[in-house]
Amino acid sequence: MRERGRGRIVTVTSVGGAVGQPFADAYCAAKFAVEGLMQSLAPVVAPFGVDVSIVEPAAVASSFTDSVHLAAPGPYADLQRAYLDRTSSAFTTAQSAEDAARTVVEAATTSAPRFRWQTSEAAVRFAGLSLADLDGSRVLGVTQTWLRSDA
């Protein structure tokens, strides 16, 4: 790409790369790291005509939560159960993989590339929680409600 003087790198991350989520610490850490890597790479390769973009889906209809198991009984069990109930319900209204893929294709082929793309209005709202939250209170205020069984 550098030799050709043009190119595009598109990486699919997740809204979990913008908003940390309870009980998804390793997943979110990996997504945050990928977003940081791409954000750091973007200005380095830009002078060579290479654009870098990330695509952030929210919930996509899949078996994503099927492999999650409740922790052993203990101080976190009720919190985790409440979180899993909330997360499982979010996947009942998730966008289709085909719909999310349209954004990936657009990011790869557009004549007006940008760094950050969300695949749905839900992803825009969710990623926006963190991206405009300079002190972190907005994100924590929302994600803490996910741990209440009455939420």
DSSP code of residue 60: B
CA 143 distance to own-chain centroid = 14
CATH of the domain at 90: 3.40.50.720
CB < 8 Å & 24+ apart, contacts of 103-107: 103/55, 103/57, 104/10, 104/12, 104/55, 107/10, 107/53, 107/55
Range of the domain at 48: 7-145
110 part of a folded domain: yes
7-12, strands of its sheet edge to edge: 7-12, 50-56, 116-118
In a domain, residue 57? The reply is yes
Contacts of 73 (CB under 8 A, 6+ apart): none
Q: How many domains does the chain have?
A: 1
More confident site: 111 or 145: 111
* Domain-embedded: residue 150: no
Please indicate, yes or no, if residue 84 is contained in any of the structural domains. yes
Position 124 in a domain: yes
Structure tokens given for 99: 């719909």
Provide the whole-model pTM.
0.84
- Asked whether residue 151 is assigned to any structural domain, the reply reads no
Mean pLDDT of 124-149: 85
When pLDDT is cut at 50, 70 and 90, the band that residue 137 belongs to is: confident
Looking at residue 16, what is its pLDDT? 94
* From 8, 9, 27, 106, active-site residue: 27
Known catalytic membership, residue 83: no
Please report whether residue 2 resides in a domain: no
Handedness of CA 100, 115, 136, 16 (dihedral sign): positive
Any domain includes 1: no
Model confidence pLDDT, tens digit, residues 3-50? 999 999 999 999 999 999 988 899 999 999 999 999 999 999 999 999
pLDDT tens digits along 78-127: 888 888 888 877 777 889 999 999 999 999 999 999 999 999 999 999 99
